[in-house]
């Protein structure tokens, strides 16, 4: 029977996930600026928290819980807008720009 990871091991696993995701995004940084900023913020949060319990509390109470997902979608919309502009489709580019702006809440890394 396998024991579940300890809380501190869970924080280490979460940190490794953020580090790996950041490394992958950094390979094509121009496509992932919002995700990179959000991942940096999450890594800093891991460092400040120090324990899984404090990390979870900070994540859920500080508005960070959805920041990474919003940042990733923001980058997708920005990419869609750039492609649409390159193809001369101003209406689609404008719609993608509006969608990206709608995802960015004040104080977010996105």
Question: In this predicted model, what pLDDT tens digit does every residue of 40-96 receive, in sequence order?
Answer: 999 999 999 988 889 988 888 876 778 888 999 999 999 999 999 999 999 999 999
Compute the distance between CA of residue 56 and CA of residue 43 in angstroms, rounded to an integer. Answer: 13
pTM: 0.83
Report, in this order, helix, strand and coil percent for the chain, each rounded to 5. 75, 0, 25
User: What's the pLDDT score for residue 109?
Assistant: 43
What's the mean pLDDT in 25-46?
A: 94
Compute the distance between CA of residue 103 and CA of residue 81 in angstroms, rounded to an integer. Answer: 14
pLDDT tier at 110, thresholds 50, 70, 90: very low
Q: How distant, in Å, are the alpha carbons of 19, 73, 74, 89, 103 from that of 93?
A: 32, 15, 13, 6, 16
pLDDT tier at 105, thresholds 50, 70, 90: low
């Amino acid at each position: 029977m396998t024991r579940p990871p300890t809380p501190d091991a869970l924080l280490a696993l979460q940190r490794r996930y953020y580090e790996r995701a950041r490394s992958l995004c950094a390979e094509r940084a121009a496509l992932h600026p919002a995700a990179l900023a959000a991942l940096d913020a999450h890594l800093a949060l891991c460092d400040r928290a120090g324990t899984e319990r404090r990390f979870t509390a900070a994540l859920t109470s500080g508005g960070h819980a959805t920041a990474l997902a919003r940042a990733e979608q923001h980058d997708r919309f920005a990419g869609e807008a750039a492609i649409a502009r390159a193809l001369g489709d101003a209406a689609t580019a404008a719609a993608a720009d509006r969608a990206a702006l709608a995802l960015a809440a004040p104080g977010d890394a996105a």
